[in-house]
Structure 1
Amino acid sequence: MDAAPATRALLLEHARTVAEQADRHAVTLESVLAILRAGRLDDRAARTAAIDVAATALVELRTATDGQRASMLEPVTGAFDRLRSDLRPLVRFGELEMQFVEPPSSGRALPGEVALAARAIVRIAVLALVDAGDARRVRIQWDCDGLNLLVNLRDDGAGGASANDDAMRPIAERVSALDGELRVDATPGWGTALAIRIPLDPPAPHELSAGDAELTARERDVLRLVGAGRRNQDIADELGISLNTAKYHVSNLLRKLGARSRAELVAIGHGG
């Protein structure tokens, strides 16, 4: 049986909260690691800086909720400042140099959900660059044309990325969930550029139900495994299909169920 609408709404809200907190925790942990690895800091200075980053993250976790943020409009410059604040420890102690290009102050205020998604997308992209280790600089730019938030990132790495890479998958899912567009342009030896367009008026949320959707038997198998927390490779192995086929089914589930992220698919998988 499908969960009651109120229960499903709570599940989806919880899924969004968990996904956003996971992103923030990842940034905090990467920041702490960057501090501890910084050769110019002695042990005492590194401990002090790491404690400061962890304490700040803990205070933010305790005093702010995504539900509150998602219900408000954020000035585009304020949303960008919050992103810069999120990434400040990596800028200060990490090996990746970040250049921030301010959005115009006259830009339209962002719906909370768009601001949250845009910050999460940039954080995921920056963490992917940190993990790859082949880029030394990244340029982060936001703009607003009145109808869309325009996010551009450009790095000076090896230029081997593509829209089909696993590192791009969570970005593509978040952009797609908001009816946005993602373009990845990579030039070997010259770096990679991400151009993202996110509408400021995303589709109105609607009740999601696996029971009402026209899903194939295979899609229902994939949804069950997504709901169990399995990743794409695990799903492919268990169902005896290729990794690309597993990704294809997950993409179809996002579209058919109107889910805005993989976390929402997990909630739907639990709901029935």
Structure 2
Amino acid sequence: MLQGLSNVLASPLGLMIPALSELISPLVPHSALVMLAADVGGGRVQGTGDPAFVRGVRGLELDRLRKRLEASDGIRSGVLAIDGAAHPTLELLSRNGALLVIAEPGSGAGEQAGTLLALWDIVALHVQERADEAKPDYLQHARAIAGTRLKALTELEDEYAAAVESVLVALRSKRLSDAQARDEAVGRAVDALTRLSGAVDQVRTLTEESVTISFDRLKEDLRPVSRYSPVQLQFVDPPVDGRPLPGEVSLGARAVVYRAVLTLVEGEEVGHIRIHWDCDGTNLLIRMQDDGPGSSAAAKTLLGRIRERIWSLNGTVGVDTTPGWGTRIDVVLPLDPPRTHPASSAMAGMRPREVQVAALMVAGHRNRAIADELRISENTVKFHVSRILRQLGADSRAEAIAVLTAGQRG
């Protein structure tokens, strides 16, 4: 079992669910597995096994199952209707909120449920760790996708609503005499508009997460630190009525705090870390404070480990040190995706090193300073700058910086 679990964890993300299916088959025979989790590509629905079941399961339905399981012990037997056929299921919710649905589990599934949940906890946490350690540019890409997705949904809703309203106007015209047909058409049009509005709300809910749930998952992520480190963690809960967080902001915020805490714990003479989240309706506000020596060198190391991930979400970070009083970190992450700007598509096509060079250009660094910061040659920096100018359609370094800066403001 341990060797099989090791093989699952070593698998590429796209093959992890098939590997997990093979691992648990001797315990619980099944026809299909489907998971709803977050990985380095953002929210992910992935399945293996019976194609009809895998294709027929909808993400919104999985999200509803996940919410039901949040109020239980993480294990539930149920039934899913796919194309008119009822499929018995065993549903498992990991500690970090990832859902696994086992279709048509064989006899004895109930006896193995605890073992299955333990295995799923390990696999789901591993998937989350891969997402947390992903390159920051994936978060930037996810933000751009989120903005496009919400814009498309809004446009679709407006267009469809306008079409339905025009139909209603036509059907209510005095030139139409068949009242019964008109009433039937009006009723169907209203029902269609209601269903569309509900579907849009559900899609938005699927791509968002309550700030309190996200914070609870952060506590779960940091539980090993509290258990195995002498450093005490104090959590200040966010308001329960705070605005929901987009999925990529929730994932990125937890990754930033997790990495910051591990960096602080590695330092000397830190005995206490206070973690506070708040939401002002527009931004997620993160504040961390330790009681360490307040070393400027340690603060520089900390900033280097979290800065790029924060920038990728269009956020800002400030680190203040007071000798003898500790280090304070303030992070602001905007909840709304940035507006699309000509620089966005060019940035999405840049290589990771080019993104780093572009960020340092915007910060005012010259080629020599960029080379020192990234530990590459000045000629290599010149090569990257040349490619950046071509991708942005800029004729000069100043013009490129102006385009990039405008994109950040947008």
State the TM bucket, normalised to the shorter chain. 0.5 to 0.7
Give the drift of 1:195.
Answer: 0.9
Distance 1:74 1:240 in 2: 44
1:167 counterpart SS class? helix
Which structure exhibits the higher relative contact order, with contacts defined as CA atoms closer than 8 Å and separated by 6 or more residues?
Answer: 1
Residues 10-159 of structure 1: matches in 2 within 5 Å?
17=40, 56-61=121-126, 72-159=207-294
1:128–1:259: structure 2 CA closer, same or farther, 3 Å change rule? farther
Task: Verify the 8 A CA contact 1:152 1:193 in the aligned structure 2.
Answer: yes
In 2: Cα distance, 1:96 partner to 1:163 partner: 17
Residue 105 of structure 1 aligns to which amino acid in structure 2?
V
Asked whether the equivalents of residues 140 and 152 of structure 1 are also in contact (C-alpha less than 8 Å), the reply is: yes
Q: Give the number of equivalent residue pairs.
A: 191
Structure 2 residue aligned with 1:239: 377
Q: Determine helix, strand or coil for the equivalent of 1:133.
A: coil
CA distance in 2, matches of 1:62, 1:212: 26
- One-letter code aligned to 2:254: R
Give the aligned residue type for 1:57: I
1:177 Cα deviation (Å)? 2.1
Unaligned runs of 5+ in 1: 1-15, 20-52, 223-231, 242-251, 261-272
Which has more strand, going by share of residues?
A: 2
Distance change >3 Å, CA 165–CA 72, structure 1 → 2: same
SS at match of 1:134: coil
- Note closer, same or farther for the CA distance 1:119–1:207 as it changes in structure 2 (3 Å cut): same
Look up the SS of the partner of 2:261 in the other structure.
helix
C-alpha separation between the residues in 1 aligned to 2:124 and 2:211? 24
Alpha-carbon distance in structure 1 between the residues aligned to 2:219 and 2:122: 14
SS in 1 for 2:243: coil
Confirm or deny: 8 A CA contact 1:161 1:186 kept in the other structure: yes
Residue 207 of structure 1 pairs with residue 380 of structure 2: no
Larger Rg: 2
What secondary structure is seen at the aligned counterpart in 2 of 1:123?
helix
Amino acid at match of 2:266: D
TM-score (normalised: structure 2): 0.39
C-alpha displacement at 1:202, in angstroms? Answer: 2.8
Distance 1:147-1:211 versus aligned 2 partners, 3 A rule? closer
Q: Which amino acid aligns with 1:207?
A: S
Q: CA deviation at 1:131?
A: 1.6
Q: 1:208 to 1:164 in 2, by over 3 A?
A: farther
Q: 1:82 to 1:259 in 2, by over 3 A?
A: farther
8 Å CA contact 1:159–1:187 kept in 2: the answer is: yes
- Residue aligning to 1:269: none
Deviations 1:206-242 (A, max 9, x none): 43458899x99xx59x9xxxxxxxxx87942x4169x
Deviation at 1:65, TM superposition (A): 9.0
User: What is the CA RMSD across the aligned residues, in angstroms?
Assistant: 4.7
Indicate the SS of the match to 1:168: helix
Give the drift of 1:178: 2.0
Which amino acid in the other structure matches residue 75 of structure 1? S
Say if 2:298 is the partner of 1:188.
no
Give the TM-score normalised by structure 1: 0.56
